[in-house]
A and B are shown apart, each in its own frame.
Chain A
Amino acid sequence: MRFIVTSTALLKNLQQISGVISANTVLSVLEDFLFELKGNTLTLTATDLETMMRVQMDVNDAQGNGRICIPSKILVDYLKNLPEQPITFSINEQDLSIEMSSDVGKYRIGGEKADDFPKEPAPGDTSNFTMSSIALLESINKTLFAVSTDTLRPAMTGVYFELATDSITFVSTDAHRLVQFKRTDVVCPAQDGFVVPKKPLQQLRATLPADETQLQLSYNSSHLFVSTNKLSLSCRLIDARFPDYKAVIPQDNPYKLTINRNDFVSALRRVSIFANKTTNQVVLDINGNSVNLSAQDIDFSYEGKEKLSCQYTGEDMKIAFNAKLMVELVNNIDGNEVNLELSTPTRAGIFRPIDKVENEDVLMLLMPLMVGV
């Protein structure tokens, strides 16, 4: 088979899927891109056996249909070092040789048999729904940071997609914090739920367009498939039950603190520099309409304190949080101001944005640190 393609266009497409390829694989074919030519359409595929991504592009002067695996690293390195220009690919499927000729030279790589490339999971018995690309992107952005890395609890190492006929809710937690992000602009086929691992979501975040492009989502008991007309991703779902997250969200936190988000984050950052590096503990001493932030590391005689004004309705209280987790959480809330709902120093605090975005409902929860007093 033979075709001509612009170097930068090919590189751009390969880079959309190359993130899937894992750095140390056992099967050499997993280090390859699968190239499939049919008519003038070139389909490129990459996989790590868990996640598979595929992108389609048009090529010129195509002759013959065919398939071959091309080592990814050398190809990408070559394309990166080539100024924009047409490249002619001449591929011999018999001896697996790939010749790339450009204005400046001729290059040769040995490929591998296309039949050795893993097959895509068959999307049998699936249920389908659609949502816009920007909506899924936003949902991933809001939840992915709180995903757990603890492999002992596999269900928490992914984002839970909870489907309902009038909404979809994305939930992530690492047992210290939890994010619940609900969208009411999506119609799902049934009440259902599945857990999607981190890596494919990172891939989607890196490649999905931030616009209204409609995505086709389909799933069955083992896989999720996401596609646009050019790009598609399939991934294995995490085979574990997501914890009963609703049971741990307090329904009746009576005290409410409203504070300027930027001021709060900046103060937390400064004060936490003086905190114990292991716990990152910052104490919030809420007193009338002000909150005192304090941190210390006794080993080094470090101490930091700041006072911020806020609006507070409730009893004065002292509550401690891990500042690092809190900064990350608050940074993921939109708006100039943020609400923190509290009850006691040992129960979860709930963060919500003040300004509600249409069709979105976000709740972020953070467990406090037990203060040793």
Chain B
Amino acid sequence: MSQQKYTRKIIHIDMDAFYASVEQRDNPEYVGKPIVVGGSPEGRGGVVATASYEARKFGIRSAMPSKRALQLCPDVIFIRPRFAAYKEASNKIREIFGRYTDIIEPLSLDEAYLDVTKDKQGIGSALEIAKQIKNAIRNELHLTASAGVSVNKFVAKIASDMNKPDGLTFIGPSAIEHFMEGLPVEKFFGVGKVTAEKMKSMGLHTGADLKKLSLDEITEHFGKPGKFYYQIVRGIDEREVQAHRETKSVGAEDTFAYDLTSRDEMNAELDKIASIVAERLQKHGLKGRTITLKIKYSDFKVITRNKSFTQLSNDLELIRDTAKQLLNATEPEGKATRLLGISLSNFEEVVSKKVRGRSDQLELF
């Protein structure tokens, strides 16, 4: 097959143990030590947000309960996250990206896709750009990043994960199909445990096995994502790097130090959360139509309840009262509640629709 189907150059940058690295940079006494940024193992116990590479040697991983981390490595140092510091570092990293391209899609504070098909400095080589970005991050911020360079988002992301930390992996057009054929199925985007097991039970272990299926067969077995697998295994991933991802929702939530059972306490928390949400909305100049209340009970069951309005709003009182109403409608008696959250969604679309309509429906009341 001709190589002309590949027309883009995509870099995926993933910071190495980002939160932990920022802590080690800012606190020299942590350098070379196993540290965990996240919740402390005391009390009800938090979870690991990021573990330093020294901690990872003991088998400590993200999302692991902190108590378990302590069992694996009794010397591990727990550090409360300082999100403001990470946010600041993340902004500086983004500023470095901006020297090369404006098509940047941040996935989180420590991860982003860059489209460098046309780079601002006329360097021309995506591999060279990735090297320069890594150097800039090292020299200016004293942090390390791993980069994956390829022709689409999917392969770039897999590549960035291949030689961590401080890695740089390039998978060029000629190597892609061979690379995809050798890839285990669980590495495919969107393939979780269940799908992976299903695939294996069908004798599908690698990309090469998946490639043998026709489009009809693959969609029959795996539904809509089947088409995505079919394309991706042939090195095709048309997803654009989305520079300006629309804000879909704005919210805030809080996990409590102890489980709340009384309505009064919960309402007081909702007051606080609602004012944070309203402030964020006002800061971003957004108004939403749908207010969603999220509740996590002590048994970790999560429910959400929402209410939609015909008019856009970012009004604190409305958000607060609606959240309380939604809370009231959930549960007849006080069930132990671990977390409450409020978010607003359904933003611009409605405005633009209203503006676009060249006529107005008249109302009776």
Contact = CB atoms under 8 A, between A and B. Distances in A.
Nearest to B322: A151
Interface stretch (B68-76, B259-267, B304-312): B304-312
A190 interface: no
Nearest to B307: A151
Interface stretch (B11-19, B136-144, B356-364): B356-364
B331 to A, nearest CB: 5
A278 B332 CA distance: 40
Contact of A176 (B307, B357, B361): B361
A175 interface: yes
Contacts of B362: 176, 346, 367-370
Contacts of A176: 361-364
A26 B330 contact: yes
Of the listed residues B311, B353, B365, the one surrounded by the most CB atoms of chain A closer than 10 A to its CB is: B365
A367 B303 contact: no
B167 to A, nearest CB: 44
A279 B358 contact: yes
B335 interface: yes
Contacts of A370: 359-362
B333 to A, nearest CB: 9
A43 interface: no
A369 B360 CA distance: 5
A320 B311 CA distance: 24
A278 B353 contact: yes
Interface in A336-364: 346, 348
Contacts of A348: 364
Nearest to A28: B301
A151 B309 contact: yes
A175 B332 CA distance: 33
A320 B359 contact: yes
A287 interface: no
Nearest to B309: A152
A367 B364 contact: yes
Interface in A32-59: 49
Given A150-B310, A151-B307, A279 B364 contact: no
Contacts of A248: 364-365
Contacts of A150: 309-310
B364 A26 contact: no
B308 to A, nearest CB: 7
Contact of B303 (A26, A175, A322, A368): A26
B334 to A, nearest CB: 12
B365 A281 contact: no
A177 B331 CA distance: 35
Interface string A233-248: 0000000000100001
A111 B266 CA distance: 32
B32 to A, nearest CB: 49
Nearest to A244: B365
A213 to B, nearest CB: 34
A276 interface: yes
B362 to A, nearest CB: 4
Nearest to A149: B308
Contacts of B309: 150-152
Contact of A369 (B307, B332, B359, B364): B359
A370 B358 CA distance: 9
Interface in B298-351: 303, 307-311, 330-332, 335
B49 to A, nearest CB: 30
A322 B363 CA distance: 12
Interface in B85-130: none
Contact of A367 (B311, B356, B363): B363
Contact of A276 (B310, B330, B331, B357): B357
B360 A24 contact: no
Nearest to A283: B359
Contact of B359 (A26, A27, A151, A281): A281
Interface string B130-155: 00000000000000000000000000
A348 B361 CA distance: 11
Contacts of B308: 151
Of the listed residues B330, B331, B353, B358, the one surrounded by the most CB atoms of chain A closer than 10 A to its CB is: B358
Contacts of A178: 364
Contact of B363 (A152, A175, A281): A175
Interface string A316-337: 0000101000000000000000
Nearest to A156: B365
Interface of B: 303, 307-311, 330-332, 335, 353, 356-365
15 contacts: A26-B303, A26-B330, A27-B331, A150-B309, A151-B307, A152-B310, A175-B365, A176-B361, A281-B358, A320-B359, A365-B364, A368-B362, A369-B361, A370-B360, A370-B362
Give 3 nearest A-B pairs by CB, closest first: A367-B362, A370-B360, A369-B359
Given A27-B332, A369-B361, A370-B362, 5 more contacts: A26-B335, A151-B308, A152-B309, A365-B364, A367-B362
